[in-house]
Structure 1
């Protein structure tokens, strides 16, 4: 009996990305200009960016990263990429104008999404979502890319780099020595030199070095993605298998009838406003508003899910199919818009009676934005084409955030609460003191002791002079106002 020799077991090769999405890269090299530009962006971040300080450092770092990624490439950015780059930087610029921490978080997160879109692209929902996380999958590729680039640099170029470094060191030493001598010889020149020299104080050096390395690596990753871009749209699921007309039309028709019945029966509840609250037993403004908000949340989420499934399953072979899709889904969107309008009215009524807060204002803006999303869905349904819809929804979100920043939400909240205090004599000082420096101009109008109780925390926040890279317009304005009228002793006030 002959025993066949055992075959060697071959290790299974796993793919982190499906075939055709992001091919293997074993030949590309990182140009020296990209590496040096990334190091420069990391240096800018290490010297100017402080994660906990809302200021100019964010837009400086974002601009340095954008220049390093796009300016070192021979191919010019497309019009779409240019708009996305400007938009991402504009979102970061909000942090040098407004002082609200929660608004800063929203702007930074959205800037990341828009910046990822500028680098990776994406026309589908899956593409946009995947592109936002693509940078996290680049470290190993970037290390190999950079190593191959470094190995190709000629020895003459290395000598040139050493010479450049030597010349920079000699120049710095000469300027320091002779500048110190001239400054000690003439006080006027010393003052002029101090004003002309940017002041950069490096606190927490280890943290700043780590931040600089992180930004440098992220810049290299973005530059690599721009040159070796994964086809993130290929991750999107294929078109759904259509079902028979009655299988999708009947459930949608029943759902439309249910929505129609709800809106018809509840018109008095939906738009009753003050009258409905005052004439209904055991119903408060808080319950009235919260009920509308949860209606919006549930109806919006479920309706979007229904629309997504219906678009994949509904056949559009002939004119009757296309007409049914437009009518049934369009009616569903219109009826949802009515509930959105109801929720907006309820929240506005709630705010007018109980005052404005960050959460209430953010909920109101979100409701309005979701209403706009449903309008876009109606347009897509009429055209029976939604390829433009993901980009339009992202663009509408960016416009909503920039508009919110232009409104200056914390200042608006403080202004409306001060007006309410002037009319009713009621005010929640404990909440107002939690607002950011954006609220100082409005809170400064309050009489004592409410003014001092609302501003004493903010006075401590703006007391210290900030470095030039920490510049924030709202903080500077607040410092000027509080220096003109210092905050006094805080006494207990009734809310």
Structure 2
């Protein structure tokens, strides 16, 4: 008899063949290759610190993928491209590298999901990796396109002459531009501000970055022309089981969760009084305990729902009603724990100040609460076809709201307020924040202000690396310079 493990391997190969269709005929148009090369050059010349270069590079990639190949982009493609560029535009107004990196990942995920039109959890999970898997196909796609152009009458000569003309033009502009810049200092300053300079400090890294962006652009352009059917890799619908086989475990979990919430009501909502009145209980333990409870309950609830929905006979009215009651109770109890964890973190931050980790945990908790609400809404109709995209969309909305909040600025604001109330402040931590925090730290009295800003240096940016946060910080420090001779010491460990 064949074992399940052996039987699953051919099934996985068949699913993969259904997802990735053979491709030995498609050819890359010249516009796609030229657009990818242009996107790579833009990235190599401009990308660096968070700046306007990020949305510019994103626009170059999106324009190539949407315009260089057929069919015409759909409204979903255009909407996803807009959201992706909006996420990348966060780098124009925020200088927080961690936040910008999260926005770049989210932009890539949104674009991949829309590009491949995936609608299952499996598809959403695999979509961001599809471009990497498509790279071997992209190589053949580009080679076939180049061979066809060379085979066309005058094709190789035409493209060769075009490349030669482009190189000659760049050489002449660079030569005469350098001569004019040497003849007139004002023209030289204008030229140096308008033309991206070559980053000689890391030429290899710049070249690799350009090649990465060019390859990614070719990959997404190819995927729009030949998208894999990643939803075909999703597990098949589960076989329904008798009602009691899933209802008994769910009911037991509901009772367990209900008893836990009832018994732990004082722990969950006791707040400051509970912490102060319980031996060996600190704010740190109180907040971390709530957070890990939230994580455990969230994972458990999602796993239980995923498994139970596959085994429930949704054709039977009684089964659907019972499933709504039992699974809905799990989601509601999870919401109670979400509220408790947020309350605990609020107390922790009020006592010890705000940090990136603490603020980030609070935002994740809020988002998970939204996910449970989406699960409740999906459970009303027992249909979750739109749930993967809705969860992804809610995550993107939470990230954009987080960026709009300006996390580093918010953290600095709250710590400055706490200093005004208590006289305690962690200067070492605040020095590690980005220039987003400079306007808030500027409110501090001297010498605390200078001690918080003494390590902040904001050199002038060329136009292609403009960033609103750095521009505002530069203006503040120009108008009110830091006192380099400030005595940075205080009555306690934090100040």
| Contact 1:42-1:216 at 8 Å conserved across structures | yes
The reply to whether residue 101 of structure 1 matches residue 97 of structure 2 is: yes
Structure 1: distance between partners of 2:267 and 2:87: 39
1:429-468 paired onto structure 2 within 5 Å: 429-458=427-456, 460=457, 462=458, 464-468=459-463
Which residue of the partner structure matches residue 305 of structure 1?
Answer: 303
Which residue of the partner structure matches residue 6 of structure 1?
Answer: none
Which residue of the partner structure matches residue 147 of structure 1?
Answer: 143
2:128 paired residue among 123, 126, 132: 132
Q: For 1:154-173, what per-residue CA distance to the aligned partner results, in whole angstroms no more than 9, with x for missing partners?
A: 24233222333344445455
Partner SS, residue 109 of structure 2: helix
Q: 1:172/1:426 Cα in 2 relative to 1: closer, same or farther (>3 Å)?
A: closer
Structure 2: distance between partners of 1:218 and 1:183: 36
1:2-41 paired onto structure 2 within 5 Å: 18-41=16-39
1:467-482 paired onto structure 2 within 5 Å: 467-482=462-477
Partner SS, residue 18 of structure 2: coil
Structure 2: distance between partners of 1:453 and 1:196: 33
Q: 1:186/1:18 Cα in 2 relative to 1: closer, same or farther (>3 Å)?
A: closer
Which residue of the partner structure matches residue 227 of structure 1?
Answer: 225
Partner SS, residue 20 of structure 1: helix
The reply to whether residue 200 of structure 1 matches residue 186 of structure 2 is: no
C-alpha deviation, 1:465, in angstroms: 2.1
The reply to whether residue 118 of structure 1 matches residue 114 of structure 2 is: yes
Q: Give the unaligned 5+ runs of structure 2.
A: 1-9
The reply to whether residue 270 of structure 1 matches residue 265 of structure 2 is: no
Q: 1:312/1:183 Cα in 2 relative to 1: closer, same or farther (>3 Å)?
A: closer
Q: Give the unaligned 5+ runs of structure 1.
A: 1-11
C-alpha deviation, 1:180, in angstroms: 6.0
Q: Which segment drifts farther, 203-212 or 220-229?
A: 203-212
Q: For 1:116-145, what per-residue CA distance to the aligned partner results, in whole angstroms no more than 9, with x for missing partners?
A: 113222100000111111111122211111
Q: For 1:68-113, what per-residue CA distance to the aligned partner results, in whole angstroms no more than 9, with x for missing partners?
A: 1111123222222211111111111111210112111211111121
Q: 1:328/1:16 Cα in 2 relative to 1: closer, same or farther (>3 Å)?
A: closer
The reply to whether residue 486 of structure 1 matches residue 484 of structure 2 is: no
Which residue of the partner structure matches residue 252 of structure 1?
Answer: 250
Structure 1: distance between partners of 2:246 and 2:184: 86
Q: So what's the TM-score if we normalise by structure 2?
A: 0.91
Superposed CA RMSD in Å reads 2.1
C-alpha deviation, 1:218, in angstroms: 1.4
Structure 2: distance between partners of 1:191 and 1:175: 14
C-alpha deviation, 1:387, in angstroms: 0.3
Q: Which segment drifts farther, 176-185 or 332-341?
A: 176-185
Q: 1:398/1:185 Cα in 2 relative to 1: closer, same or farther (>3 Å)?
A: closer
The reply to whether residue 76 of structure 1 matches residue 67 of structure 2 is: no
Partner SS, residue 385 of structure 1: coil
Q: For 1:245-293, what per-residue CA distance to the aligned partner results, in whole angstroms no more than 9, with x for missing partners?
A: 1111011111111111122222222112122223333322222212111
2:283 paired residue among 285, 293, 299: 285
Partner SS, residue 20 of structure 2: coil
| Contact 1:121-1:131 at 8 Å conserved across structures | no
Which residue of the partner structure matches residue 3 of structure 1?
Answer: none
C-alpha deviation, 1:177, in angstroms: 5.9
Structure 2: distance between partners of 1:449 and 1:424: 17
Q: So what's the TM-score if we normalise by structure 1?
A: 0.91
Partner SS, residue 454 of structure 1: helix
Q: Which segment drifts farther, 137-146 or 379-388?
A: 137-146
Q: Which segment drifts farther, 334-343 or 483-492?
A: 483-492
C-alpha deviation, 1:26, in angstroms: 0.9
Partner SS, residue 211 of structure 2: helix
| Contact 2:181-2:191 at 8 Å conserved across structures | no
Structure 1: distance between partners of 2:448 and 2:226: 59
| Contact 2:194-2:463 at 8 Å conserved across structures | no
Which residue of the partner structure matches residue 316 of structure 2?
Answer: 318
